[in-house]
Amino acid sequence: MALVNTAVTTAVARPVRPGEAVGLLVYRNLLSYRRAWFVFATGFLEPVLYLFSIGIGVGRIVHGFEFNGEAIDYRDFVAPGMVAASAMNGALLDATFGFFFKLKYDKLFDQMLATPLTTLDVARGELAWSLLRGGIYSAAFVVVMLLMGLVGSWWAVLVVPAALLIGLAFGAVGMALTTFMRSWQDFEYVTLGMLPMFLFSATFFPVTAYPDWLRWVVECTPLYRGVVLCRELTTGALSWGSAVSVVYLVALGVGGLVVVRRRLDRLLLK
Amino acid sequence: MSDQTSMISARGLRKSFVQRSRKGPGIEFEAVRGIDVDVRRGVAFGFLGPNGAGKSSTMRMICCVSPVSGGELRIFGLDPATHGPEIRSRIGVCPQEDTLDNELNVWENLYVYGRYFGLPRDVVRDRIDELLDFVQLTEKAQAKVDDLSGGMKRRLTIARSLINKPEILILDEPTTGLDPQARHVIWDRLFRLKQQGVTLVLTTHYMDEAEQLADRLVVMDKGVIVAEGSPRELIEQYSTREVAEIRFGVGENEALAPKVEDLAERVEVLPDRLLLYTDDGERALQDVLGRGLRPETTLVRRATLEDVFLRLTGRSLAD
């Protein structure tokens, strides 16, 4: 049996193009989640439960709620915040826990670097996957909103791309921070960062409730930028502030990716 | 089998690591201290040495996942610093630790990996059938990686490293941690690859593995090459034909060594036994007994690479 160096076919191995590499890494993650769809689905639940409990439950006892100078239903205020939060959750789950496991325990990236793939391919591919997961969560969330009649503007169609920006920013920054983590204990910091952002980034009440200085702090957090962007889209209240949010999220995504690539070089190409 | 095409060439190759400490400057540690290596097409080339000799560091540089610290390294005439992906598309890597994807099954592991080499889907599928057959894992195609034995995982890793039809197959400690039966299966497969003309580069700290597989060897110790040649040449050059091993009671070996020193060309004192290097082991043994010495156990054997290593470094490979 002649196995090697005999042309069964004339196909020759070669370095893959960047786009191909991204597709292959996303495909690999899809394969691995095919057996863990339940894990995938539960990641989506949290913001949905909050929408029901706070947005709709608490919303029933909130009257005369005003946003942007207009009276709106409280649940219409909370729902876009939850879209943003689901994008954050979706992106961060794989960018932190998943990424750490692949990097430190599964040696998955060492495996990939034995092939023509590069650290930049790895960084882009994993980010694309986080982005996709965040995107799927937020798209599903928008469907939930539509079914419940919580969408008030055609601009809402743009919520999904906006959620992808949130996924980009959180995915890239999450992965960048993860490269500095030494053990699972360090992930307490992730929880410590996520929970306050989730609760206080104008998700459940407007930033006008804060004193000025604190308001500035909150307005600089990435989730806040995502939340207001989604809200501006679902309520149709776009402004120049929306463009600031877009630029800010893209900048975080690109900056995070640069850091991830450099850290992977340092950690894997010793 | 071998021709004059240089697959790997290293000149004064060095690898150093800086171990960072919180206080003060980092300490520099040199794992590879200037080695010259030439691997020609079709050869099975072995790096023999104990743990920490610099073998794995050398392998990582050849695999383009570790930047060269000094000297020159060329693979297929290309520089790993500038042509990493091109070089890696033409080599197969079987790392020391299995890096299989535990979240995918056996077939998927090969499929995804094959696709990373830019190979079309149907080509990868065909090759998987061939390779699973080659490593005798056809029945395990849908098995989870976790459910495979150590030997099967190794075979899967070898199959995976062949998916791109590599011109060089790099094996870092291919049978470490496997039971004897599993080792023989691996050796058999590697031997077949060698017969098909694949250039093999392997590291090992098992002298029997080196003797079985390698046409040419370099013996490494503390980051340098201390000897080079075919296994037979090395044994002829650095050892006698036979070795008589004699074992006295605990603690007596060293004290009794002077009494047998003149019976062999050379005597090595190990903690648990004495090695008498001579071309006629039985004769040496008779002489020992003739002097009224009564060793607890004796053994006459042919010299191996282990003896070469002992001679070159004063230590045994297992240290």
A107/B99 CB distance under 8 A: yes
Bridge-based pairing state of the strands B199-204 and B27-40? unpaired
Q: How far is A118 from chain B (nearest CA, A)?
A: 7
Contacts of B93 in chain A (CB under 8 A): 114
Q: Which pLDDT score is estimated for A158?
A: 87
Task: Using a CB–CB cutoff of 8 Å, tell me whether A108 touches chain B.
Answer: yes
Separation CA A161–CA B111 (nearest Å): 32
Q: What is the ipTM of this complex?
A: 0.88
Q: Which chain A residue lies closest to B197 (C-alpha atoms)? A: A5
Per residue in A171-193, pLDDT tens?
999 999 999 999 989 989 888 98
Element (H, E) at A25: helix A18-34
Separation CA B288–CA B299 (nearest Å): 12
- Greatest distance between any 2 Cα atoms in chain A: 80
Inter-chain contacts counted by CB atoms under 8 A, chains A and B: 117
Bridge-based pairing state of the strands B168-172 and B199-204? parallel
Distances (CA, A) of B137 to A84, A137, A192: 47, 39, 47
Output phi, psi for A66, to 5 deg: -115, 140
- Judged against a pLDDT cut of 90, whether residue A111 lies above it is answered with yes
Q: Which pLDDT score is estimated for B43?
A: 94
Q: Which chain B residue lies closest to A119 (C-alpha atoms)? A: B65
* Nearby residues of B249 by Cβ (< 8 Å), 6 or more positions away: B296
Q: Which of A197-211, B30-44, B111-125 has the lowest mean pLDDT?
A: A197-211
A5/B167 CB distance under 8 A: yes
Q: Which pLDDT score is estimated for B212?
A: 86
Separation CA A242–CA A226 (nearest Å): 9
Separation CA B148–CA B154 (nearest Å): 9
A15/B89 CB distance under 8 A: yes
Amino acid, res. B156:
L
In a domain, A212, yes or no: yes
Separation CA B25–CA A97 (nearest Å): 33
In a domain, A138, yes or no: yes
Q: Which pLDDT score is estimated for A9?
A: 52
Q: Which pLDDT score is estimated for A71?
A: 84
B100/A113 CB distance under 8 A: no
List where CATH 3.40.50.300 sits in chain B.
6-235
* Nearby residues of B281 by Cβ (< 8 Å), 6 or more positions away: B242, B243, B244, B300, B301
Q: B91: which 2 tokens?
A: 């080599």
Q: B314: which 2 tokens?
A: 């004063």
Q: How far is B227 from chain A (nearest CA, A)?
A: 27
Across the range B151-160, mean pLDDT stands at 94
In a domain, A126, yes or no: yes
Report the domain count for chain A. 1
Fold of B240-302: Alpha-Beta Plaits (3.30.70)
B112/A11 CB distance under 8 A: no
Task: Using a CB–CB cutoff of 8 Å, tell me whether A84 touches chain B.
Answer: no
B101/A111 CB distance under 8 A: yes
List where CATH 3.30.70.980 sits in chain B.
240-302
Q: Which chain A residue lies closest to B195 (C-alpha atoms)? A: A2
Per residue in B169-228, pLDDT tens?
999 999 888 888 888 988 999 999 999 889 999 998 888 889 889 999 999 999 999 999
Per residue in A69-95, pLDDT tens?
788 888 888 988 999 998 998 899 889
Contacts of B134 in chain A (CB under 8 A): 1, 3
Contacts of B198 in chain A (CB under 8 A): 4-5
- Pick from B66, B116, B196: which is nearest to A117 by CB? B116
Work out the burial of residue B124: count CB atoms within 10 Å of its CB; fewer than 13 is exposed, 13-18 middle, 19 or more buried: buried
Per residue in A129-170, pLDDT tens?
999 988 888 888 888 888 888 877 777 788 989 999 999 999
Closest CA to A82 of A19, A143, A4, A31: A143
- Judged against a pLDDT cut of 90, whether residue A42 lies above it is answered with no
B85/A116 CB distance under 8 A: yes
In a domain, A54, yes or no: yes
Q: How far is B241 from chain A (nearest CA, A)?
A: 38
In a domain, A16, yes or no: no
Strands (E), chain A: 66-67, 70-71
The DSSP annotation for chain B comes to ---S-EEEEEEEEEEEEEE--SSSSPEEEEEEEEEEEEEETT-EEEEE--TTSSHHHHHHHHTTSS---EEEEEETTB-HHHHHHHHHHHEEEE-SS----TTSBHHHHHHHHHHTTT--HHHHHHHHHHHHHHTT-GGGTTSBGGGS-HHHHHHHHHHHHTTT--SEEEEESTTTT--HHHHHHHHHHHHHHHHTT-EEEEEES-HHHHHHH-SEEEEEETTEEEEEE-HHHHHHHHS-SEEEEEE-STTTHHHHHHHHGGGSSEEEE-SS-EEEEES-HHHHHHHHHHTT---SEEEEEE--HHHHHHHHHSS-TT-
- Judged against a pLDDT cut of 80, whether residue B318 lies above it is answered with no
Residue-number span of the structural domain to which A161 is assigned: 37-268
Q: A194: which 2 tokens?
A: 């996520």
Amino acid, res. B133:
D
- Greatest distance between any 2 Cα atoms in chain B: 74
Task: Using a CB–CB cutoff of 8 Å, tell me whether A266 touches chain B.
Answer: no
A:116-145 residues touching chain B, CB 8 A cutoff: 116-118
In this prediction, residue B1 has a pLDDT band, given cuts at 50, 70 and 90, of very low
- Judged against a pLDDT cut of 70, whether residue A6 lies above it is answered with no
Contacts of A8 in chain B (CB under 8 A): 126-127, 130
Q: Which of A175-179, A253-257, B314-318 has the lowest mean pLDDT?
A: B314-318
In a domain, A30, yes or no: no
Neighbour-count burial for B164-188, b at 16+ CB within 10 Å, e otherwise: bbbbbbbbbbbbbebeeebbebbbe
- Judged against a pLDDT cut of 80, whether residue A7 lies above it is answered with no
Separation CA A223–CA B301 (nearest Å): 73
Q: Which pLDDT score is estimated for A1?
A: 45
In sign, the C-alpha dihedral spanning A116, A119, A121, A125 is: positive
In this prediction, residue A5 has a pLDDT band, given cuts at 50, 70 and 90, of very low
- Mutation to test the B interface, candidates A111, A119, A266, A269, most B Cβ within 10 Å: A111
Contacts of A265 in chain B (CB under 8 A): none
Q: How far is B169 from chain A (nearest CA, A)?
A: 11
Across the range B145-156, mean pLDDT stands at 94
Work out the burial of residue B71: count CB atoms within 10 Å of its CB; fewer than 13 is exposed, 13-18 middle, 19 or more buried: middle
B193/A269 CB distance under 8 A: no
Sole residue written with tokens 């020193």: B261
Contacts of A9 in chain B (CB under 8 A): 123, 126
Sole residue written with tokens 């030439």: B38
> What is the DSSP-derived secondary structure letter of residue A76?
H
Per residue in B217-272, pLDDT tens?
999 999 999 999 999 999 999 999 999 999 998 888 888 889 998 999 999 998 88
* Nearby residues of A202 by Cβ (< 8 Å), 6 or more positions away: A81, A218, A224, A227, A228, A231
Across the range A247-258, mean pLDDT stands at 96
In a domain, A6, yes or no: no
Separation CA B282–CA B275 (nearest Å): 13
A:41-60 residues touching chain B, CB 8 A cutoff: none
A14/B131 CB distance under 8 A: no
Q: Are A187 and A100 in contact (CB under 8 A)?
A: yes
Amino acid, res. B174:
P
Fold of B6-235: Rossmann fold (3.40.50)
- Judged against a pLDDT cut of 90, whether residue B108 lies above it is answered with yes
Contacts of A15 in chain B (CB under 8 A): 85-86, 88-89, 118
- Judged against a pLDDT cut of 60, whether residue A4 lies above it is answered with no
Closest CA to A163 of A100, A227, A212: A227
Q: What is the mean pLDDT of chain A?
A: 89
A5/B196 CB distance under 8 A: yes
- Mutation to test the A interface, candidates B69, B106, B122, B165, most A Cβ within 10 Å: B165
Q: Which pLDDT score is estimated for B316?
A: 67
Across the range A224-245, mean pLDDT stands at 89
Closest CA to B279 of B233, B232, B244, B312: B244
Contacts of B7 in chain A (CB under 8 A): none
- Mutation to test the B interface, candidates A1, A4, A9, most B Cβ within 10 Å: A4
Q: Which of A50-64, B28-42, B81-95 has the lowest mean pLDDT?
A: A50-64
In a domain, A163, yes or no: yes
In this prediction, residue A55 has a pLDDT band, given cuts at 50, 70 and 90, of confident
Closest CA to A250 of A134, A171, A142: A171
Q: How far is B201 from chain A (nearest CA, A)?
A: 15
Q: Which pLDDT score is estimated for B317?
A: 61
Per residue in B138-149, pLDDT tens?
999 999 999 999
